[in-house]
Amino acid sequence: MKKIFFFSLLFSVLCSATLFAQPGENKGWPSAERYSFLNECIKTASAAMSGDSARFYCYCMQEKVEKKYPDVKDAAKLSQDDMQTPEWKKEINNCLGGTWSSKDRSDFLTNCVASAKDGIGAEKAKTYCECMLFKIEQRYPSSDDAAKLTAEDLQTPAWKIIAKGCLDF
C-alpha cells in the first residue's frame, strides 16, 4: 500500500515540475542524443545482464559521460581504449550497482507509467519513469526507504529539479 501511494506521489511531482519548469533552460545533451545513448547502451548491456540492471547501468553511465563530456560531439569520440583506463573502469564498476530487486523496479515502472501516461503520453512517461527510478534508487538503495518518501519530500526544490531533469530527458 505504501508503495502504491509513493507512485501516486511521483506523478504529483511530475505535474509540479511541469508547472515550475523554466523555459529556455536547456543544458547538457539534446534529449534525442540521451535517448539514443540509452537505447544503444541498454541493447548492448542486456546481453550480459538483466534488462532492469542494464537500464540502471546505462542511466548511470549516461549521466557520467554527459557530465565529463557536456558536448555530445566530444563524447562520441570515446573509444574502447578510453573505457579501459583506470578512471573509466572505476566509473563502470560504480554503475554496476543498483540494489533494488527486479520486482521492485518493475513495480515502480509499471505504476509510475500508469500514473503519468495520461498526462504526458506513454513514451514520454516511460522515459520519465525510468529516469526517476534511477534517480530514486541512487538516493534510496532500499526500495522500502524510498516508499517512505512523502508528498512534502517530493515538493522540495531538490526533487523538483530532479523531476524536471527527467522530464527534459
- Residues 65-85, mean pLDDT to the nearest whole number: 92
CB-based burial of residue 150 (10 Å sphere; 0-12 exposed, 13-18 middle, 19+ buried)?
Answer: exposed
pLDDT of residue 99: 86
Cell, residue 23 = 523555459
Is 80 exceeded by the pLDDT of residue 13?
no
Is 60 exceeded by the pLDDT of residue 19?
no
- Residues 47-52, mean pLDDT to the nearest whole number: 90
Is 50 exceeded by the pLDDT of residue 5?
no
pLDDT of residue 31: 87
Which tens digits make up the pLDDT trace of 108-166? 999 999 999 999 999 999 999 999 999 999 999 999 999 898 889 989 999 999 999 89
Per mean pLDDT, which range of 4-18, 42-56, 78-92, 104-118 is the poorest? 4-18
Question: What radius of gyration, in Å, describes the C-alpha atoms of the chain?
Answer: 16
CB-based burial of residue 56 (10 Å sphere; 0-12 exposed, 13-18 middle, 19+ buried)?
Answer: buried
pLDDT of residue 27: 64
Amino acid at residue number 159: W
Is 80 exceeded by the pLDDT of residue 67?
yes
- The CA distance from 59 to 143, in Å, is 18
Residue predicted with more confidence, 47 or 4 = 47
